[in-house]
Amino acid sequence: MTYPTKALAPLMLEDYRRVMVDRRGQQEQFSVLQIHDSMKKVTAVDLKQTISLGSDIQFRAYYAGHVLGAAMFHLKVGESTVVYTGDYNMTPDRHLGAAQIDRLKPDLIITESTYATTIRDSKHARERDFLQAVHKCVTNGGKVLIPVFALGRAQELCILLDDYWERMNLKAPIYFSAGLTMQANVYYKLLIAWTNQKVKDTCITRNTFDFKHVSVFDRSQLNAPGPCVLFATPGMLSGGLSLEVFRLWAPFEQNMVVVPGYCVPGTVGYRLVTGKTVTLDADKRIKLEVRCQIHHLSFSAHTDAKGIMDLLRHVSARHVILVHGEKPKMALLRTRIISELGVPCFVPGNGETVEVPSRLVLKVLASEKFLTKSQSNSLQTSIKSKVDDVSAPKRHMEDVSLSSIHDIRSAIIIMDKEKTIQVLNPEEALNVLNVSQHNFLYRCRLPLYISGMNDKDFNAPEVFDRGPTEGNEISGKELMKPSKKCCRGIQEFSGFQQQYDLEDKDAENELIWAERKEQENELELEDKGAENERIWAEHKEQEGIPHSVLEAMVQTVYKHLVKQLGDIVCYKQDNCIVANSVCIKISSEKTQSGTENKAQYIFTCTWSGQDEELARQIISILHMMQIASQASA
């Protein structure tokens, strides 16, 4: 906790214990000794001082306004961050400044929502109305009760009335209750550094908390005649001196009760400001008729709905949780946050658990070569670096958002024996790991069955002449003709045509030879017959399916891919089609199903990791051709 909170906390705890035990007769929850023992374990922190607990937990306090010593806390556990606001005020008042916090962009912010739907009017207008109401009441001889808490509004309104009494030269006494409020005022005088700038600037000539017209209240003055103003605790008329005075002053019309802040449902203060009843059962025995004036003004130290939205916009959290508010109003604020800020917002009940995802950020050692390349590629990384070792030039990256690196494959992450994570260029990683480069290839095989075909009978021209605009169907009827001893046709390649006669095995060998010679354009073998025999043996291994039919299949697939993908597709030798580094090869097999011969063509698509998206697109095209072919066969 902060230094002012550490100073004031024992007073607040003792006051609570005394009210609950001595005045209400409830069982003691803790003793005075336990209060002092617990405060010995407290470590006070300055604003914006980073405190570390172990290696993974850090927290930092930020100025929250609200009351003296109030702070928001930014908590960091590993790489997950949370801002817990506590109570805060985004509007400066007469003794405290507005809340101040950095643009932290945490994973989660937990914010109070006391005034989830309320937007307060002008501060000057509220002060004017308050002063006029009090002035009118005391001028008419009435007594003014202002129930307040000992910290915050008591000091704020004392400053306001003390200045006004000085300007207007009023004589009616102003009192504040003895005890806690008086002790709190002492700490306000001592801890000037936590107040606003105006109080700091004037403290040399006159301490703002040295009041001229405000004095300590004595119980003997409860029934004293004449007008007066009394600040009494607690602020919601839930007990203590404020409720005791209220019972005495409420039946008289010339008196007035000013409720300057928020009141919890169920308290006397809440019933007064909502006007639900005109009679109050003050001590469960006496019915109290309320005739005094009731004046409600929002001098609360809690921020309003506008302040909450301003804080959320500034902090830029990824998730929001609302606490400390009325459920129906919190639901309305939640809708507004989701609509205007576009972030998830939760309103959990007591005991309810909310799960919020967080980012995973790794602290790594990055080589100079990697950093240089990253900067040259204009990668938008948030890097705060320092030289760790002169002999081993590496830099420490404290805040690296992996999601902001556009090409994640441009680096390799390794962990050494000391479990330190390093980011290296691929070339560096090979040397560090003492390994050679391995290229991983992925492969997909798609079968295409065509029925009604035998070894010798095929109809190449019809397939060759057919363009992809005629549809994707590839049927056995288009590839086959009735059995003949000879079949004439035109073999079509990239840029040439060749007429052929197939009458015997030698003629087909010559045709295959011509095809290979034209495609490879590098055949200089002395023994042409031997090469023919080798080529023929290759085709024999393909279960006897004619090579020209296979070429027809390649050409058909090639045309479909060109139509779908454009110029990135090219045709290479050996029944191979290439799109970038994705390779599509087509081979054939022949199977026997009953009395019918079936030719099975196999599409084999091979690709590396960087071309996965293109490979999936190509496989999708081939798969559609397969479906269309089976439907028409």
Gap between the Cα atoms of 357 and 2, Å rounded: 30
Phi/psi of residue 286, nearest 5 degrees: -110, 125
From the list 14, 28, 79, 112, the catalytic residue is 112
- Amino acid (1-letter code) at residue 537: A
Q: Half-sphere exposure of residue 55, counting CA atoms within 13 Å on the CB side?
A: 0
Q: For residue 75, give the nearest of 85, 88, 60, 62 by alpha carbon.
A: 60
**How many Cα atoms within 13 Å fall on the side-chain side of residue 69?**
17
Q: Which amino acid is at 455?
A: D
Reported in sequence order, the residue ranges of 236-292 that DSSP labels E, i.e. its strands, are: 256-259, 279-281, 287-289
d(CA 426, CA 424): 6
Q: List C-alpha distances in Å: 357 to 104, 193, 278.
A: 17, 39, 50
Alpha carbon of 447 to those of 200, 442, 605, 627: distances in Å? 85, 17, 11, 11
Q: Are 105 and 319 in contact (CB under 8 A)?
A: no
281 exposed, middle or buried (CB, 10 Å; 0-12, 13-18, 19+)?
A: exposed
Buried b (16+ CB within 10 A) or exposed e, 112-137: bbbbbbeebeeeeeebeebbeebbeb
Q: First CA to last CA across the chain, in angstroms?
A: 81
- Residues 120, 126, 132: CA angle, nearest 5 degrees: 160
Q: Is the dihedral of CA 293, 294, 296, 300 positive or negative?
A: positive
Q: Which residues pair with 501 in a beta bridge?
A: 488
**Which pair of tokens denotes residue 603?**
């599409």
Q: Which helix (H) or strand (E) holds 52?
A: strand 50-53
Phi first, then psi: give them for residue 140, nearest 5 degrees.
-85, 10
User: Could you confirm whether 510 is annotated as catalytic?
Assistant: no
State the alpha helices, DSSP H only, in 316-392: 327-341, 368-376
Sequence length of the chain is 633
Nearest to 155 by CA among 198, 189, 110: 189
292 close to 249: Cβ distance less than 8 angstroms: yes
Which are the catalytic amino acids? 112
